């Protein structure tokens, strides 16, 4: 297994959208197909436009392959997404991606939020990173918040 040092994390570019969608549809939890994402208004064109309009996403690249990404909604102070390929989990990639997203959001907002499934590994991961003030938002999902120190 290659080390975390071999993984490059950089701002996402418009041509990264295909890799971002590949990661998003390859996860073990919160599984959504391209059709599911499209029904939610999350299409390659929408994500490409978001990346072009503002720095809002970061990708983790290992040997030229996108293996993870994080994405924010800057105007809403929201951590919109953070996903890592199952083959690259537990290597610190998610922590680095979320850290970059938090830094970008905290540069503009004192309080951040995200939503995830209450029973997911993601919820535990975010709690471990200091996200709290948990609120039930229904359908098994929770809202977590984090404030600038």
- pLDDT, residue 12, reads 97
Query: Please, what are the domains in the chain?
Result: 4-109 (3.40.630.30)
Percent of the chain residues topping a pLDDT of 70: 97
* Those residues with Cβ within 8 angstroms of residue 147's Cβ, 6 or more apart along the chain or in another chain: 110, 111, 112
pLDDT band at 33 (very low <50, low <70, confident <90, very high): confident
- pLDDT, residue 4, reads 58
- Of the given ranges (3-17, 38-52, 57-71), which has the lowest mean pLDDT? 3-17
Distance in Å from the first CA to the final CA of the chain: 35
Helix axes 44-53, 17-24, angle to 10 degrees: 120
Going by C-alpha positions, the residue among 98, 108, 10, 6 that lies closest to residue 58 is 10
Predicted TM-score of the model (pTM): 0.92
pLDDT band at 97 (very low <50, low <70, confident <90, very high): very high
Residue 1 has pLDDT above 80, yes or no: no
pLDDT band at 149 (very low <50, low <70, confident <90, very high): confident
Mean pLDDT of the chain: 93
């Amino acid at each position: 297994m290659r080390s975390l040092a071999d993984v490059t994390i950089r701002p996402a570019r418009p041509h990264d959208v295909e890799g971002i969608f590949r990661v998003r549809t390859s996860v073990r939890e919160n599984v959504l197909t391209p059709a599911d994402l499209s029904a939610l208004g999350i299409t390659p064109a929408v994500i490409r436009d978001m990346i072009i309009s503002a720095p809002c996403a970061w990708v983790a690249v290992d040997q030229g392959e996108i293996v993870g990404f994080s994405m924010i909604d800057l105007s809403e102070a929201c951590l919109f997404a953070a996903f890592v390929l199952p083959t690259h989990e537990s290597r610190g990639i998610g922590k680095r991606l979320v850290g970059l997203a938090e830094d970008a959001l905290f540069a503009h907002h004192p309080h951040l939020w995200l939503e995830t499934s209450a029973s997911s590994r993601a919820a535990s991961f975010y709690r471990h990173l200091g996200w709290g003030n948990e609120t039930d938002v229904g359908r098994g999902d929770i809202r977590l918040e984090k404030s600038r120190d």
